[in-house]
Amino acid sequence: MNDDGPSLVQSVRKALLGAVFPLSSEQLVLLARENEAPSGVLSWLSGLPRRRFDSLDAVQQVLESRSGAGEGTSESSAAPMQSR
């Protein structure tokens, strides 16, 4: 059943079609804009760490780490705050 359209991984791959790596996170966003990526993909790419990516695989690893094993598992993973 495919009621939500393509997955984020598929959308990111489509948005970065034609990418010649290495590319910075800013260059990835520009390419996605040129490829008329949906706003959700552009937003996700804008949130990538500011660094160079050597391949689409490297971008996908960040995607999977953020969407799979809990959100914010990179730099800003502080102890959970609970308030009453």
36 or 1, which is more confident: 36
Residue ranges per structural domain of the chain = 8-67
Residue 55 CA to residue 20 CA, distance in Å, equals 8
Residue pLDDT, tens place only, 28-68:
999 999 999 999 999 999 999 999 999 999 999 998 898 76
Among 43, 54, 49, 55, which Cα is nearest to 72's?
Answer: 49
Among 56, 35, 31, 57, which Cα is nearest to 46's?
Answer: 31
**DSSP, residue by residue, 1-42:** --SS-S-HHHHHHHHTTT--SSEEHHHHHHHHHHTT--HHHH
Q: For the whole model, what pTM was predicted?
A: 0.73
pLDDT for the residue 81: 39
